[in-house]
Amino acid sequence: MLDYITSYFRSTVTPGQANNQFWALVYILIVFGGVSMIVMIMNWAERKALAHMQVRLGPMRVGPHGLLQPIADALKLFTKEDIMPAEADKPIFWFAPVWVVVVAFTGFIVVPFGVAHAVTDMNIGLLFMLGVSSLGVLGIVMAGWASNSHFPLMGSLRSSAQMVSYEIAMGLAVVSAVLMTGFLGTGMYGIGEGTASGTLSMIGIVQAQQAQHVWFVFKFFPVGLVAFVIFAIAMVAETNRTPFDLPEAESELVAGFHTEYSGLRWSLFMLGEYAAMVAVSSIAITLWLGGWMRPFASIHGPSIAIPFFWEHPELGIVDLVSYLVPAGVLFLLAFFCFFNALRMPKHPAMRPQVIGLWALGVVMGGIGLVLLAPPVRDRIQDIFWFVAKIAVFLYLYIWYRATFPRYRFDQLMRVGWKVLLPVGLGVLLLTGLIGLSPELVMWIKGVMLWR
């Protein structure tokens, strides 16, 4: 048994590939806890960032700068009365939020936080991820139907139409990226160095970007960029966020599909929605933004050796700097904590908050110190850069929410079918044409000679 558990330590692949169920379970728990953590932080960050964009303060009372607000919210939601409308279709009403959460978290099985940091890797990982993430709409339709009420019904109908429409544009953009994994040349226009069969494995796609020394968002510039933008728009629509938040359009449909939900059930919907946001962001990151790779991953700089601290002769000074970034970020957060603790009002009533902020700073700094330790430092890289990219995407979600009005239903459909779909087809065609251009040139030459 112990051997079975320890045998994975020497492995450089995911526990699923190593066929180690124990570590797979551990990884599942870590991913579940981590994503829930991200959702909680996102909850706080969204309220704060949105508030500051809207000349408000946001939560300020529960903990320093409202840091404990998500916990207070969760407690409130757990203790609320569980209301189920008398006319509701009870089993489906009960099942819908559970379905949304389960589906949103299932996709994370194949999300590669690092080359070995995923639950498992499948040869159809991307397909699995897309398939699972599009199942979420089923929960929304169930919720709308089971509520037996007009507003939720309209919300869920809108949602299903929206998801189906945007799934197609999304799929075309994704195929373009998958196609790129098959063109073996390096650099932005690396063509003519042969082709291979592409891969649908999430880890394989990142490794292809690693091998080609280019993030696919820059490959065949601007083709990859356009595909990425299509995906970035479609993924906002997929997760029902502003400006595509029609299924829960507050000013029109009261609360859309979750009008009749409250308390814990409602919070499950929110958890599912935010987890889905993280999931689609990770697809975008894996496909176009180099997954776990740091920026400029192929630049190493002159190699350097520091005894007891840096014993990677094959890595350069740029790598050293990049390896220190995670700790640096945490030190920066700690600094913010200390700085703001000093800026807090000197009133005795504020003392618990000031102490809390100091404590948080100490914790942050402590984690930063741990991250400096070479064994941790060398293993945390992938995860750090992946999560940092997720954070950027989540911030974009908040930014959209503060900026855009909401589309109308027919306009939403028009954007999906008349803009994104043709552009996606064009991008797909261009990807293939550029990638195969040497062969095409040879083929045309051949035809000319033959004539």
Partner 1 sequence: MTDTSKPGFYEDAGATGTFLDANEMVLNMGPQHPSTHGVLRVILKLDGEKVLGTECIIGYLHRGVEKIAENRTYTMFNPYVDRMDYVASVSNGLGYCLAIEKLLNVEAPPRACYIRVILTELNRIASHQLWLGTHALDIGAMTPLFYTFRDREEILKIFEKYCGARLTTHAFRIGGTQYETYEGFEQDVKKFCKFVTPKIGEYEELLTTNRIWLQRTKGVGLISAEDAIAMGVTGPVLRASGVKWDLRKAQPYSLYEKFDFEVPIGINGDTYDRYLVRVAEMRQSLRIVEQAVDSIPEGPIMAKVPKVIKPPVGEVYVSIEAPKGELGYFVVSDGSTQPYRLRVRPPSFVNLQALDKMVRGALVADVVAVIGTLDIVLGEVDR
The distance of closest approach from Cβ of residue 153 to partner 1 in the complex, given in angstroms and rounded to an integer, is: 8
Q: Answer yes or no whether residue 242 interacts with partner 1 by CB under 8 A.
A: yes
User: Count residues contacting partner 1 (CB under 8 A)?
Assistant: 30
Which lies closer to partner 1 via its Cβ, residue 304 or residue 402? Answer: 402
- Nearest to 364, CA basis, from 338, 391, 395: 338
Please choose, out of 37-45, 97-105, 289-297, 405-413, the segment that lies near partner 1 by the rule CB under 8 A.
Answer: 405-413
Which lies closer to partner 1 via its Cβ, residue 56 or residue 379? Answer: 56
Q: Answer yes or no whether residue 418 interacts with partner 1 by CB under 8 A.
A: no
The distance of closest approach from Cβ of residue 413 to partner 1 in the complex, given in angstroms and rounded to an integer, is: 11
Q: Burial letters for 338-361: b for 16+ Cβ neighbours within 10 Å, e otherwise?
A: bebbeeeeeeeeeeebbebbbebb
Site for partner 1 in 20-49 (CB under 8 A): none
Alpha carbon distance 268, 281 (integer Å): 20
**Residue in 1, 2, 55, 306 binding partner 1, rule: CB under 8 A:** 55
Contact map string, positions 280 to 319, toward partner 1, x by CB under 8 A: ----------------------------------------
Instruction: Return the bridge partners of 303, or none.
Output: 316
Which lies closer to partner 1 via its Cβ, residue 241 or residue 294? Answer: 241
**Residue in 76, 150, 351, 445 binding partner 1, rule: CB under 8 A:** 150
Q: Answer yes or no whether residue 401 interacts with partner 1 by CB under 8 A.
A: yes
Secondary structure of 142-155 as H, E, C letters: HHHHHCCCHHHHHH
Site for partner 1 in 156-215 (CB under 8 A): 158
Category of 254 on φ-ψ map: left (φ > 0), alpha (ψ -120 to 50) or beta: left
Which lies closer to partner 1 via its Cβ, residue 193 or residue 250? Answer: 250
Sign of CA dihedral 119, 124, 128, 129: positive
Q: Answer yes or no whether residue 411 interacts with partner 1 by CB under 8 A.
A: yes
Q: How far from 109 is each of 76, 124, 195, 284, 397, CA to CA, in Å?
A: 30, 12, 29, 16, 23
Alpha carbon distance 41, 71 (integer Å): 10
Residues 6+ apart with CB under 8 A from 167: 130, 134, 234, 238
Note the residues at the interface with partner 1 (CB under 8 A): 50, 53-56, 150-151, 154, 158, 242-243, 245-246, 249-254, 401-411
